[in-house]
């Protein structure tokens, strides 16, 4: 005759295997499936490469190309105050993908701060300062690249300078005589009068 099972033994007979299977499935999900589901393609698979940034002086005659302005190594490029220069950037782009350029100056102004063309017109301020130009190039699908150049703004014969007033020097008081002229003077070496 078969031994009759208690209700606790019957529950353990079905529940214990279900718990073990549940723990196994959860462990598989937590350790294998979830980490695989979190794998994403990186957003930026490439970096924009800037080859060169140039400052160009507009041509004086229509049939001539702009002339590149250069400075000795380690020195800023000189731009006369109030004058306009073209800033040009060259980016490595063999597949001819769209590129967006952002132009920024500390003191001067750009005709267009965001362009799809590789150059923008820069107008120097009318004061003597060192200006820092930053251009950021972003190739479609790539992380952006920044390049910075320094410009020295110098006096220009064409444009009047914005001058800051010199501080006024306080007027010096007029010298006052230390001894009034109406008082008699005493000579300490004179012989005493009798």
- Tens of pLDDT along 138-191? 988 888 999 999 999 999 876 555 555 545 655 555 555 555 555 555 666 667
With a cut of 60, say whether residue 41 has pLDDT above it: no
pLDDT of 153: 93
- The answer to whether 104 and 115 have CB atoms below 8 angstroms apart is no
Q: What is the mean pLDDT of the chain?
A: 79
Q: Residue 9 — very low, low, confident or very high, per pLDDT cuts 50/70/90?
A: confident
Q: Residue 113 — very low, low, confident or very high, per pLDDT cuts 50/70/90?
A: very high
DSSP 104: E
Q: Residue 115 — very low, low, confident or very high, per pLDDT cuts 50/70/90?
A: very high
Question: What's the topology of domain 50-154?
Answer: Immunoglobulin-like (2.60.40)
- Residues ≥6 apart with Cβ < 8 Å to 177: none
Highest mean pLDDT among 33-37, 99-103, 170-174: 99-103
Residues 11-48: b if buried by 16+ CB within 10 A, e if exposed: eeeeeeeeeeeeeeeeeeeeeeeeeeeeeeeeeeeeeb
Q: Are strands 145-154 and 130-139 parallel, antiparallel or unpaired?
A: antiparallel
Q: How far apart are CA 156 and CA 159, in angstroms?
A: 6
With a cut of 80, say whether residue 8 has pLDDT above it: no
pLDDT of 136: 94
Q: Residue 3 — very low, low, confident or very high, per pLDDT cuts 50/70/90?
A: confident
The mean pLDDT of 82-89, rounded to a whole number, is 92
- Please provide the distance, in angstroms rounded to a whole number, between the alpha carbons at the two ends of the chain: 164
- The answer to whether 81 and 154 have CB atoms below 8 angstroms apart is yes
- Residues ≥6 apart with Cβ < 8 Å to 59: 65, 66, 67
């Amino acid at each position: 005759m078969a031994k009759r099972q208690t209700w606790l033994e019957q529950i353990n007979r079905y529940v214990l295997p279900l718990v073990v299977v549940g723990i196994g499935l959860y462990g598989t999900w937590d350790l294998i499936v979830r980490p695989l589901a979190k794998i994403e393609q990186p957003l930026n698979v490439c970096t924009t490469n800037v080859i060169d940034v140039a400052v160009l002086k507009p041509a004086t005659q229509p049939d001539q190309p702009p002339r590149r302005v250069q400075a000795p190594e380690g020195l800023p490029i000189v731009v006369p105050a109030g004058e306009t220069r073209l800033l040009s950037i060259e980016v490595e782009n063999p597949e001819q993908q769209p590129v967006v350029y952002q132009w920024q100056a500390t003191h001067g102004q750009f005709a267009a701060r965001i362009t799809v063309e590789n150059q923008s017109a820069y107008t120097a301020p009318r004061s003597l300062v060192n200006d820092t130009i930053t251009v950021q190039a972003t190739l479609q699908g790539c992380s952006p690249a920044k390049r910075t150049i320094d410009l020295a703004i110098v006096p220009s014969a064409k444009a009047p300078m914005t001058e800051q007033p010199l501080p006024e020097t306080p007027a010096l008081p007029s010298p006052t005589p230390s001894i009034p002229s109406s008082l008699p003077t005493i000579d300490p070496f004179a012989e005493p009068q009798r």
